[in-house]
Amino acid sequence: MPSKTFFNLDDKKKNKLEQAALEEFSKYTYDQISINPEFDS
């Protein structure tokens, strides 16, 4: 479940994080996934 911090992000950052997660989950197994995108301010 997303944290309170996630829900406080602006829509652009939420979408960027969601896209990064989708890409990771489509390429790797659960144990190999790393969600550490670099966000621009």
Does residue 32 belong to any structural domain of this protein? Answer: yes
Q: How many domains does the chain have?
A: 1
Domain holding 32, by residue range, is 10-41
Q: Residue for token digits 């652009």?
A: 12
Answer for the pair 37, 16: CB distance below 8 angstroms, yes or no. yes
The pTM is what? 0.61
Q: Reduced to 3 states, what is the DSSP secondary structure of residue 41?
A: coil
Rounded mean pLDDT for each run of 10 residues along the chain, 41 residues in total = 88 91 85 66 45
pLDDT value of residue 20: 84
Cβ of 13: how many Cβ atoms within 10 Å?
Answer: 15
Instruction: Specify burial of residue 24 (Cβ count, 10 A radius: 0-12, 13-18, 19+).
Output: middle
Does residue 30 belong to any structural domain of this protein? Answer: yes
pLDDT value of residue 3: 85
Does residue 5 belong to any structural domain of this protein? Answer: no
